Amino acid sequence: MPGASGLRWLWLSVTIVVLDQWTKTLIVAHFALYERLEMWPVLSITRLHNTGAAFSFLSDAGGWQRWFFVVLGLAVSGLVTVWLRRLPARGRSWLAAALAMIVGGAVGNIIDRLLHGYVVDFISVHYDRWFFPAFNVADSAITIGAVMLLIESFMSDDDTLRSRREKKVES
């Protein structure tokens, strides 16, 4: 199909944004700030507001970070969308899915920053008195997409079984 590109994977980005915003809306509607519901011994739902980035980085910076992270998120989303546009429609599904997840997660958190000035986090993983920083669906999508990109970076065309066989025959 002429003109087809990896942009066809943006359905995944939209799905992530919708799921992220829906879960955050539910949390805000049913949980007070800092309210906690233990689901399992290692998992709780806890409503938190994060004005910073991952691991609350810059959360106490005084407010300027809101716009910094909005601009950064928009820039990353734009660049990754251009990357998606340049991908062929077929043959790079793993990479396209990874990029679409990153875009969806970034947009989900941008919406929070624009609407509220903070990101709603609510998934809390913990053990005994150790707590991993709370996160949300958007953060999960960004992380999974980044891990997929990392895996993709180790898998070049030269690493395929077929390429190895062809090289063996040539030598």
Active site residues: 121, 139
Distance between CA 60 and CA 17 in Å, rounded? 26
Residues near 148 by beta carbon (within 8 Å), at least 6 away in sequence: 94, 95, 97, 98, 101
Contact present, 46 and 134 (Cβ < 8 Å): yes
User: Tokens standing for 94?
Assistant: 């793993």
Residues near 99 by beta carbon (within 8 Å), at least 6 away in sequence: 6, 9, 80, 83, 84, 87, 145, 149
In three-state secondary structure terms, 119 is: strand
Q: Kindly state the helix (H) or strand (E) to which residue 42 belongs, with its residue range.
A: none
Rounded to 10 deg, the angle between the 93-116 and 137-154 helix axes is 150
Rg (CA), the chain: 19
